[in-house]
Amino acid sequence: MNKALRKAVIAGNWKMNKTPAETTALINEMKPLVADAGCDVVLCTPFVDLQAALEATAGSNIGVGAENCHFEKSGAFTGEVAAPMLTEMGVQYVIIGHSERRQYFGETDETVNKRTLAALENGLTAIVCVGETLTQREQGVTAELVAMQTKIALLNVTAEQLKKVIIAYEPVWAIGTGRTATAEQAGEVCALIRATVASLYGKEAADGLTIQYGGSMNAGNAEELLAQPDVDGGLIGGASLKAPDFAAIVKAASK
Ligand code: PGA
Protein backbone atom coordinates (compact mmCIF):
# COMPACT_ATOMS: atom_id res chain seq x y z
CA MET A 1 0.00 0.00 0.00
CA ASN A 2 1.08 3.56 -0.49
CA LYS A 3 0.20 5.37 2.74
CA ALA A 4 1.47 8.68 1.44
CA LEU A 5 -1.42 8.75 -1.03
CA ARG A 6 -4.29 6.92 0.65
CA LYS A 7 -5.74 5.39 3.78
CA ALA A 8 -5.35 1.77 4.73
CA VAL A 9 -8.69 0.32 5.76
CA ILE A 10 -9.24 -3.06 7.40
CA ALA A 11 -12.92 -3.98 7.43
CA GLY A 12 -14.52 -7.06 8.93
CA ASN A 13 -17.45 -8.64 7.13
CA TRP A 14 -19.29 -10.71 9.68
CA LYS A 15 -21.75 -12.06 7.09
CA MET A 16 -24.65 -13.92 8.81
CA ASN A 17 -22.86 -14.44 12.10
CA LYS A 18 -23.29 -13.18 15.70
CA THR A 19 -26.35 -12.18 17.69
CA PRO A 20 -26.55 -8.71 19.29
CA ALA A 21 -25.23 -10.06 22.62
CA GLU A 22 -22.36 -11.83 20.83
CA THR A 23 -21.67 -8.59 18.93
CA THR A 24 -21.17 -6.67 22.17
CA ALA A 25 -18.90 -9.36 23.55
CA LEU A 26 -16.72 -9.65 20.43
CA ILE A 27 -16.32 -5.89 20.05
CA ASN A 28 -15.41 -5.52 23.71
CA GLU A 29 -12.72 -8.13 23.15
CA MET A 30 -11.47 -6.41 19.99
CA LYS A 31 -11.43 -2.81 21.19
CA PRO A 32 -8.25 -2.89 23.30
CA LEU A 33 -6.48 -5.03 20.68
CA VAL A 34 -6.96 -2.48 17.88
CA ALA A 35 -6.94 0.73 19.95
CA ASP A 36 -3.57 1.88 18.62
CA ALA A 37 -4.21 0.93 14.99
CA GLY A 38 -2.35 2.87 12.33
CA CYS A 39 -5.14 2.22 9.83
CA ASP A 40 -8.91 2.69 9.72
CA VAL A 41 -10.80 -0.17 11.35
CA VAL A 42 -14.37 -1.05 10.39
CA LEU A 43 -16.76 -3.82 11.36
CA CYS A 44 -19.68 -4.63 9.05
CA THR A 45 -22.38 -6.58 10.83
CA PRO A 46 -25.86 -7.96 10.21
CA PHE A 47 -28.58 -5.28 10.40
CA VAL A 48 -29.92 -6.49 13.74
CA ASP A 49 -26.46 -6.19 15.31
CA LEU A 50 -25.80 -2.61 14.19
CA GLN A 51 -27.26 -0.96 17.28
CA ALA A 52 -25.19 -3.15 19.59
CA ALA A 53 -22.12 -2.51 17.45
CA LEU A 54 -22.64 1.26 17.53
CA GLU A 55 -23.02 1.22 21.31
CA ALA A 56 -20.02 -1.04 21.87
CA THR A 57 -17.76 0.98 19.55
CA ALA A 58 -18.83 4.44 20.83
CA GLY A 59 -15.76 6.51 21.65
CA SER A 60 -13.41 3.96 20.04
CA ASN A 61 -11.50 3.97 16.76
CA ILE A 62 -13.79 1.31 15.22
CA GLY A 63 -16.29 2.37 12.54
CA VAL A 64 -19.49 0.44 11.93
CA GLY A 65 -20.90 -0.72 8.62
CA ALA A 66 -23.85 -2.65 7.22
CA GLU A 67 -23.55 -5.47 4.70
CA ASN A 68 -26.06 -4.16 2.15
CA CYS A 69 -28.59 -1.40 1.55
CA HIS A 70 -31.49 -0.93 -0.84
CA PHE A 71 -31.43 1.73 -3.55
CA GLU A 72 -34.84 3.27 -2.78
CA LYS A 73 -35.36 5.59 0.19
CA SER A 74 -38.49 3.72 1.30
CA GLY A 75 -41.30 1.68 -0.16
CA ALA A 76 -42.76 -1.76 -0.70
CA PHE A 77 -39.56 -3.81 -0.52
CA THR A 78 -40.25 -6.36 2.20
CA GLY A 79 -37.12 -7.44 4.02
CA GLU A 80 -34.89 -4.66 2.68
CA VAL A 81 -33.19 -1.78 4.52
CA ALA A 82 -32.73 1.71 3.06
CA ALA A 83 -29.59 3.83 3.22
CA PRO A 84 -31.20 6.73 5.19
CA MET A 85 -32.20 4.26 7.90
CA LEU A 86 -28.55 3.33 8.31
CA THR A 87 -27.30 6.91 8.27
CA GLU A 88 -29.78 7.96 10.93
CA MET A 89 -28.51 5.19 13.23
CA GLY A 90 -24.94 6.45 12.92
CA VAL A 91 -23.72 3.74 10.55
CA GLN A 92 -20.85 5.05 8.38
CA TYR A 93 -20.06 2.26 5.94
CA VAL A 94 -21.92 -0.26 3.82
CA ILE A 95 -20.72 -3.21 1.76
CA ILE A 96 -22.26 -3.21 -1.72
CA GLY A 97 -22.34 -6.05 -4.24
CA HIS A 98 -20.60 -8.73 -2.22
CA SER A 99 -20.23 -11.86 -4.35
CA GLU A 100 -22.55 -13.78 -2.01
CA ARG A 101 -25.27 -11.23 -2.77
CA ARG A 102 -24.52 -11.49 -6.49
CA GLN A 103 -24.53 -15.30 -6.32
CA TYR A 104 -27.45 -16.01 -3.98
CA PHE A 105 -29.66 -12.91 -4.08
CA GLY A 106 -29.74 -11.87 -7.72
CA GLU A 107 -27.50 -8.83 -7.35
CA THR A 108 -26.34 -7.55 -10.75
CA ASP A 109 -23.86 -4.89 -11.85
CA GLU A 110 -26.85 -2.57 -12.38
CA THR A 111 -28.27 -3.04 -8.88
CA VAL A 112 -24.75 -2.69 -7.45
CA ASN A 113 -24.55 0.68 -9.20
CA LYS A 114 -27.96 1.76 -7.88
CA ARG A 115 -27.14 0.70 -4.33
CA THR A 116 -23.74 2.42 -4.53
CA LEU A 117 -25.41 5.67 -5.60
CA ALA A 118 -27.98 5.40 -2.79
CA ALA A 119 -25.25 4.80 -0.23
CA LEU A 120 -23.21 7.78 -1.43
CA GLU A 121 -26.22 10.10 -1.67
CA ASN A 122 -26.87 9.35 1.98
CA GLY A 123 -23.33 10.02 3.13
CA LEU A 124 -22.26 6.42 3.64
CA THR A 125 -18.87 5.14 2.57
CA ALA A 126 -19.53 2.37 0.04
CA ILE A 127 -17.28 -0.69 0.08
CA VAL A 128 -17.98 -1.92 -3.45
CA CYS A 129 -17.03 -5.55 -4.14
CA VAL A 130 -15.79 -6.84 -7.48
CA GLY A 131 -14.12 -10.10 -8.46
CA GLU A 132 -14.10 -13.04 -10.80
CA THR A 133 -15.15 -16.66 -10.34
CA LEU A 134 -12.70 -19.52 -10.83
CA THR A 135 -14.22 -20.28 -14.26
CA GLN A 136 -13.78 -16.68 -15.34
CA ARG A 137 -10.16 -16.68 -14.15
CA GLU A 138 -9.53 -19.88 -16.10
CA GLN A 139 -11.21 -18.37 -19.16
CA GLY A 140 -8.71 -15.52 -18.98
CA VAL A 141 -11.33 -12.79 -18.62
CA THR A 142 -10.45 -11.53 -15.12
CA ALA A 143 -9.13 -8.18 -16.32
CA GLU A 144 -12.08 -7.45 -18.60
CA LEU A 145 -14.63 -8.62 -16.05
CA VAL A 146 -13.24 -6.69 -13.10
CA ALA A 147 -12.86 -3.54 -15.22
CA MET A 148 -16.47 -3.91 -16.36
CA GLN A 149 -17.79 -4.48 -12.83
CA THR A 150 -15.84 -1.43 -11.62
CA LYS A 151 -17.05 0.81 -14.44
CA ILE A 152 -20.71 -0.16 -14.07
CA ALA A 153 -20.61 0.14 -10.26
CA LEU A 154 -19.29 3.70 -10.61
CA LEU A 155 -21.70 4.92 -13.32
CA ASN A 156 -22.91 8.45 -12.40
CA VAL A 157 -20.72 8.54 -9.27
CA THR A 158 -19.19 12.04 -9.16
CA ALA A 159 -15.51 12.73 -8.50
CA GLU A 160 -16.52 14.19 -5.13
CA GLN A 161 -18.51 11.06 -4.25
CA LEU A 162 -15.62 8.84 -5.30
CA LYS A 163 -13.79 10.05 -2.18
CA LYS A 164 -16.25 7.95 -0.17
CA VAL A 165 -15.81 4.81 -2.25
CA ILE A 166 -13.63 1.86 -1.31
CA ILE A 167 -13.29 -0.93 -3.85
CA ALA A 168 -12.77 -4.43 -2.54
CA TYR A 169 -11.24 -6.92 -4.95
CA GLU A 170 -12.53 -10.31 -3.89
CA PRO A 171 -11.82 -13.24 -6.20
CA VAL A 172 -14.85 -15.47 -5.63
CA TRP A 173 -12.70 -18.59 -5.61
CA ALA A 174 -10.76 -17.28 -2.62
CA ILE A 175 -13.73 -16.40 -0.40
CA GLY A 176 -14.16 -18.68 2.58
CA THR A 177 -12.17 -21.38 0.82
CA GLY A 178 -8.84 -20.94 2.54
CA ARG A 179 -7.45 -20.49 -0.97
CA THR A 180 -5.90 -17.03 -1.04
CA ALA A 181 -4.86 -15.22 -4.18
CA THR A 182 -1.10 -14.89 -4.30
CA ALA A 183 0.15 -11.45 -3.38
CA GLU A 184 1.07 -10.97 -7.06
CA GLN A 185 -2.41 -11.93 -8.27
CA ALA A 186 -4.04 -9.60 -5.73
CA GLY A 187 -1.63 -6.79 -6.55
CA GLU A 188 -2.11 -7.20 -10.28
CA VAL A 189 -5.92 -6.96 -10.19
CA CYS A 190 -5.90 -4.11 -7.65
CA ALA A 191 -3.55 -2.20 -9.98
CA LEU A 192 -5.92 -2.86 -12.84
CA ILE A 193 -8.85 -1.52 -10.82
CA ARG A 194 -6.82 1.62 -10.09
CA ALA A 195 -6.01 2.03 -13.79
CA THR A 196 -9.72 1.65 -14.62
CA VAL A 197 -10.63 4.33 -12.08
CA ALA A 198 -7.83 6.54 -13.44
CA SER A 199 -9.31 6.23 -16.94
CA LEU A 200 -12.62 7.53 -15.56
CA TYR A 201 -11.57 10.12 -12.96
CA GLY A 202 -7.92 10.87 -13.60
CA LYS A 203 -4.71 9.72 -11.93
CA GLU A 204 -4.93 11.84 -8.80
CA ALA A 205 -8.40 10.56 -7.90
CA ALA A 206 -7.31 6.99 -8.59
CA ASP A 207 -4.18 7.39 -6.47
CA GLY A 208 -6.36 8.49 -3.56
CA LEU A 209 -8.71 5.49 -3.81
CA THR A 210 -8.48 2.78 -1.18
CA ILE A 211 -8.56 -0.67 -2.79
CA GLN A 212 -8.89 -3.67 -0.50
CA TYR A 213 -8.17 -7.31 -1.12
CA GLY A 214 -10.60 -9.87 0.30
CA GLY A 215 -10.66 -13.65 0.21
CA SER A 216 -9.19 -15.79 3.01
CA MET A 217 -6.99 -12.95 4.26
CA ASN A 218 -5.68 -13.93 7.66
CA ALA A 219 -3.05 -13.21 10.28
CA GLY A 220 -0.52 -15.32 8.39
CA ASN A 221 -0.84 -13.86 4.89
CA ALA A 222 -1.96 -10.26 5.53
CA GLU A 223 1.49 -8.74 5.63
CA GLU A 224 2.53 -10.14 2.26
CA LEU A 225 -0.73 -9.11 0.59
CA LEU A 226 -0.60 -5.62 2.09
CA ALA A 227 2.99 -5.20 0.90
CA GLN A 228 1.65 -4.92 -2.65
CA PRO A 229 1.66 -1.24 -3.65
CA ASP A 230 -1.98 -1.26 -4.83
CA VAL A 231 -3.44 -3.31 -1.96
CA ASP A 232 -4.57 -0.77 0.62
CA GLY A 233 -6.34 -2.93 3.12
CA GLY A 234 -8.58 -5.93 3.47
CA LEU A 235 -12.17 -7.06 3.64
CA ILE A 236 -12.03 -9.87 6.13
CA GLY A 237 -14.67 -12.57 6.53
CA GLY A 238 -13.79 -15.59 8.65
CA ALA A 239 -10.81 -14.02 10.41
CA SER A 240 -12.91 -11.03 11.53
CA LEU A 241 -14.92 -13.29 13.83
CA LYS A 242 -11.91 -13.92 16.07
CA ALA A 243 -10.54 -10.91 17.93
CA PRO A 244 -6.85 -11.94 17.99
CA ASP A 245 -6.84 -12.84 14.27
CA PHE A 246 -8.55 -9.61 13.25
CA ALA A 247 -6.21 -7.60 15.49
CA ALA A 248 -3.19 -9.26 13.87
CA ILE A 249 -4.40 -8.16 10.42
CA VAL A 250 -4.98 -4.63 11.71
CA LYS A 251 -1.43 -4.69 13.07
CA ALA A 252 -0.05 -5.81 9.70
CA ALA A 253 -1.86 -2.90 8.00
CA SER A 254 -0.57 -0.45 10.59
CA LYS A 255 3.11 -0.91 9.70
P1 PGA B 1 -13.21 -14.65 3.87
O2 PGA B 1 -14.37 -13.68 3.33
O3 PGA B 1 -12.18 -13.77 4.51
O4 PGA B 1 -13.91 -15.55 4.87
O5 PGA B 1 -12.69 -15.40 2.70
C6 PGA B 1 -14.06 -12.46 2.74
C7 PGA B 1 -15.33 -11.80 2.25
O8 PGA B 1 -16.21 -12.53 1.77
O9 PGA B 1 -15.49 -10.58 2.36
Q: Locate the ligand 1 atom nearest the alpha carbon of residue 177 and give its number.
A: 5
What element of type H or E holds 143?
A: helix 142-153
pTM above 0.75?
yes
| DSSP bridge partners of 128 | 96, 167
Residue having the nearest C-alpha atom to atom 7 of ligand 1: 237
Q: Quote the ligand 1 centre to 76 CA distance (angstroms).
A: 31
Which is more confident, 84 or 176?
84
User: From its phi and psi, is residue 233 left (phi > 0), alpha (psi between -120 and 50) or beta?
Assistant: left
Flag whether pLDDT at 3 surpasses 80. no
Q: Quote the ligand 1 centre to 14 CA distance (angstroms).
A: 9
Confirm if 38 and 255 have CB atoms less than 8 A apart: yes
Q: Locate the ligand 1 atom nearest the alpha carbon of residue 175 and give its number.
A: 5
Widest Cα–Cα separation across the chain: 48
- Phi, psi (degrees; rounded to nearest 5) at 211: -120, 120
User: Confidence band (pLDDT; 50, 70, 90) for 128?
Assistant: very high
Flag whether pLDDT at 16 surpasses 90. yes
User: Confidence band (pLDDT; 50, 70, 90) for 255?
Assistant: confident
Residue closest to 88 by CA, chosen among 101, 72, 78, 73: 73
Q: Quote the ligand 1 centre to 162 CA distance (angstroms).
A: 24
pLDDT in tens, 55-105: 999 999 999 999 999 999 999 999 999 999 999 999 999 999 999 999 999
